[in-house]
Amino acid sequence: RSIYVARPVAAGEPLTADNLRIIRPGDGLLPRHWDVVLGRRAARALTPGTPLTWDALLGEQAPAAHS
């Protein structure tokens, strides 16, 4: 399982429980990062079905040894 974009997100728009979902497969950020991701802003436009990655978040870098 991982965090995916569920609804279109414009660049700079905050990520919320309404525009994200935790689904299979595990190609994006792990569900344990859910609380860290909520409220962050998208670095670029995100389309539904896209696995969320650290580089999709403004000012975010992957924590050491985590995905």
Which pTM value belongs to this model?
0.87
pLDDT at 59: 83
The CATH number linked to 16 is 3.90.1210.10
Task: Identify whether 17 is part of a domain.
Answer: yes
- Give the tens place of pLDDT for each residue, 21-56: 999 988 999 999 999 999 999 999 999 999 999 999
- Pairing mode of beta strands 2-5, 20-23: antiparallel
**Rounded Cα–Cα distance for residues 25 and 65 (Å):** 20
Q: Which of 35, 56, 32 is nearest to 44 (CA)?
A: 56
Range of the domain at 20: 1-58
Question: Please, what's the largest Cα pairwise distance for the chain?
Answer: 29
Instruction: Please check whether residue 67 lies inside any domain of the structure.
Output: no
Residue 64: pLDDT over 70: no
Q: Is residue 14 part of a domain?
A: yes
Cβ of 62: how many Cβ atoms within 10 Å? 13
